[in-house]
Amino acid sequence: MILVTGGAGFIGGNFVLDWLKNPASEGVINLDKLTYAGNLATLDSLKDDPRHIFVHGDIGDKELVTRLLKEHQPRAIVNFAAESHVDRSIHGPAEFVTTNIVGTFNLLECAREYWNGLDAAGKERFRFHHVSTDEVYGSLSLTDPAFTEKNSYEPNSPYSASKAASDHLVRAWFHTYGFPVVTTNCSNNYGPYHFPEKLIPLVILNALNSKPLPIYGDGQQIRDWLYVGDHCSAIREVLAKGKLGETYNIGGWNEKANIDVVKTICRILDELKPRADGKSYVEQITFVKDRPGHDRRYAIDASKVERELGWRPAETFDTGIRKTVQWYLDNPVWIDGVVSGSYRDWLQKQYN
């Protein structure tokens, strides 16, 4: 077995689905607290797969995590569980400290205790894979080189600061206790099952619902976009072949200004689902107040993972974004399930 945390969320859910697509893969214990971002509908297709064991619970629950490790004896933990939305971290940072820092600390301690009790072969085989973000490196100017693993940590938001803290804990557990960790720092993901509070799914759904497409500030902030399936393949590669104690930057070499991402989505929708009035979805673009402390540019230099592990993304931005838009058009039932009362409350709070 492997233990996946946060496997009912966007990336964790895609990871579990991709992992179990391979009939030769080991089973997955999926520990998820089912916060607003966790969604069991994402895992519907696994209902009859005995290799998937879902456990509703918190990575911060020492008793539960200890029991799961003892019972299932996983040979690896992949830690996706986190509060992940920068805007929510600005409104309420406490949960980010609790889950991302204290929760990761608890998971590390439970896992270390479990690992200490394994025999030599089990110890040698075990991996703790921590899934993190490029946002820990802070913000780049237009002319700065992309982030490498050697960049210093300069987090600017409560979200990125909490992820940076968790990365430091993971690093220290390797150096101090020899606990076998690998960390991946990935750029912005997009793709199926993405909760529609993040830019790409929000814009697709707002466009289809004749709502404004909110662009923060001047829309010239740059993100480096990676299709979620490529992130999942990179994690599988690093889990299998990554060097202990190392960090690997994962990215798609796809830097785009937010306004260009939104215009691309509009153009694809114009083609796949034209507006009834014949006008372009671009007409719905609205510039709104900027995010406080908004990082200007992220960019990942993914040459280490390419050079050392031979990983490369399969999708370009053009192929990935088209697939993504098509997925949202094809999956109204999943969408109806997430657009709940609490989602509407968030839109009201954030966009008034």
Give me the residues that bind ligand TYD (CB under 6 A), please.
86, 188, 198-199, 202, 214-216, 221, 223, 258, 291
Residues whose CB is less than 8 angstroms from the CB of residue 57 and which lie 6 or more positions away in sequence, other chains included:
31, 32, 33, 64, 65
- Known catalytic residue: 124? no
CB of 311 to ligand TYD, least distance (A): 22
CA within 13 Å, CB half, 187: 27
The answer to the question of residue 133 lying near ligand NAD (CB under 6 A) is yes
Out of 16, 60, 128, 284, the only residue in the binding site for ligand NAD (CB under 6 A) is 60
What six digits make up the tokens of 333? 């039932």
How far apart CA 325 and CA 121 sit, in angstroms, is 46
The answer to the question of residue 55 lying near ligand NAD (CB under 6 A) is no
- Known catalytic residue: 224? no
Q: Are 180 and 127 in contact (CB under 8 A)?
A: yes
Out of 38, 155, 196, 242, the only residue in the binding site for ligand NAD (CB under 6 A) is 38
- Which among 32, 58, 83, 134 is annotated as catalytic? 134
Out of 19, 54, 80, 346, the only residue in the binding site for ligand NAD (CB under 6 A) is 80
The answer to the question of residue 15 lying near ligand NAD (CB under 6 A) is no
How far apart CA 334 and CA 273 sit, in angstroms, is 19
- Known catalytic residue: 193? no
The answer to the question of residue 99 lying near ligand NAD (CB under 6 A) is yes
What six digits make up the tokens of 298? 């992220």
What six digits make up the tokens of 165? 């803290």
CB of 121 to ligand NAD, least distance (A): 29
CA within 13 Å, CB half, 274: 5
Residues whose CB is less than 8 angstroms from the CB of residue 42 and which lie 6 or more positions away in sequence, other chains included:
8, 13, 17, 193, 334
Out of 28, 43, 76, 131, the only residue in the binding site for ligand NAD (CB under 6 A) is 131
Where along the sequence are the contacts to ligand NAD (CB under 6 A)?
A: 5-6, 8-12, 31-35, 37-38, 58-60, 80-82, 84, 99, 103, 131-133, 163, 186, 188-189, 195
Question: Which residues participate in catalysis according to the annotation?
Answer: 134-135, 159
